[in-house]
């Protein structure tokens, strides 16, 4: 299990804060798979955007295990994926695109000092790499909420980035498999 090491802080409408799941509030959250402990979360606009809980880590684990070579991540969040892969020998570089300057101010300093990491203030939907750059692994995590309505966006983003994926490379989106499953279940119920 990976906990990020980001200091608490506030920038604009975003906040990084620690929170504790204790025995007193354990029953209320155990159904979500969060054991007792102290965690870090990123809030934006008064809502939870990301945390370093085991459940959140599980959402990223497939990509973390497959990341290699030159990696592109759309969406900085708490940098949990960066923290998990930055010291691996088979990862050569990590480029991150983040649309929020406030998130970069809060989270960026923790990772920008690593020689493999570059963080861009950029929109994943309009950013383009320079000089024919290709990536061996691409991860899209730009959604604060999750619903089957986002599957079309995920497909659009994946198609857009397919041209920058190296042969044999891997690309995925946060929660995409879950949303496909959920959509199939919804369709079955309608029949």
Do the Cβ atoms of 100 and 14 come closer than 8 Å? Answer: yes
Most confident listed range (47-51, 55-59, 91-95, 172-176): 91-95
Give the DSSP H or E segment for 55: helix 54-66
CA gap 121, 165 in Å, rounded: 21
Q: What is the pLDDT of residue 191?
A: 65
Instruction: Match domain 59-178 to its CATH number in 3.40.1550.10, 3.40.50.150, 3.20.20.70, 3.40.1800.10.
Output: 3.40.50.150
Average pLDDT value for residue range 157-177: 91
List the Cα angle 136/166/99 in 5-degree steps: 60
Sheet containing 135-140, strands listed edge to edge, beginning at the edge strand earlier in sequence: 117-121, 91-98, 69-74, 135-140, 165-173
pLDDT tens track for 73-119: 999 999 999 999 999 999 999 999 999 999 999 999 999 999 999 99
CA–CA separation, 9 and 31 (whole Å) = 29
Q: Kindly state the tokens that stand for 92.
A: 């050569």
Overall average pLDDT of the 11-22 stretch = 92
The predicted pLDDT at position 130 comes to 86
% of the chain exceeding 90 in pLDDT: 61
Give percent of the chain above pLDDT 70: 91
Q: In the chain, what are the domain boundaries?
A: 9-54, 59-178
Angle ∠(53,55,57) on CA atoms, nearest 5: 70
For 16, list phi and psi in degrees, rounded to 5: -105, 130
Predicted confidence (pLDDT) at residue 13 exceeds the cutoff of 90 = yes
- Pairwise pLDDT comparison (149 vs 14), residue with the higher score: 14
Percent helix, strand, coil in the chain, to 5, is: 35, 30, 35
| N-term to C-term CA, the chain | 41
Q: What mean pLDDT is reported for the chain?
A: 88
Contact between residue 61 and residue 79 where contact means Cβ atoms under 8 Å apart: no
pLDDT per position as a tens digit, 143-164: 777 777 777 888 899 999 999 9
* Residue 17: pLDDT band with limits 50, 70, 90: very high
Does 3 score more than 90 pLDDT?
no
Q: Please give the DSSP secondary-structure letter assigned to residue 73.
A: E
């Amino acid at each position: 299990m990976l906990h990020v090491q980001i200091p608490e802080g506030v920038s604009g409408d975003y906040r990084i804060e620690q929170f504790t799941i204790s025995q007193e509030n354990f029953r209320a959250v155990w159904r979500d798979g969060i054991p007792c402990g102290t965690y870090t979360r990123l809030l934006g606009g008064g809502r939870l955007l990301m945390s370093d809980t085991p459940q959140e880590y599980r959402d990223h684990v497939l990509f973390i295990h497959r990341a290699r070579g030159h990696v592109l991540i759309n969406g900085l969040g708490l940098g949990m994926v960066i923290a998990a892969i930055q010291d691996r020998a088979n990862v050569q570089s990590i480029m991150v695109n983040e649309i929020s300057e406030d998130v970069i101010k809060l989270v960026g300093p923790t990772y920008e000092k690593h020689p493999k990491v570059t963080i861009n203030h950029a929109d994943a939907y309009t950013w383009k790499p320079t000089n024919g750059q290709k990536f061996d692994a691409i991860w899209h995590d730009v959604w604060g909420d999750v619903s089957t309505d986002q599957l079309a966006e995920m497909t659009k983003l994946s198609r857009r980035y397919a041209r920058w994926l190296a042969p044999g490379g891997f690309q995925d989106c946060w929660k995409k498999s879950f949303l496909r499953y959920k959509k199939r279940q919804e369709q079955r119920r309608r029949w």
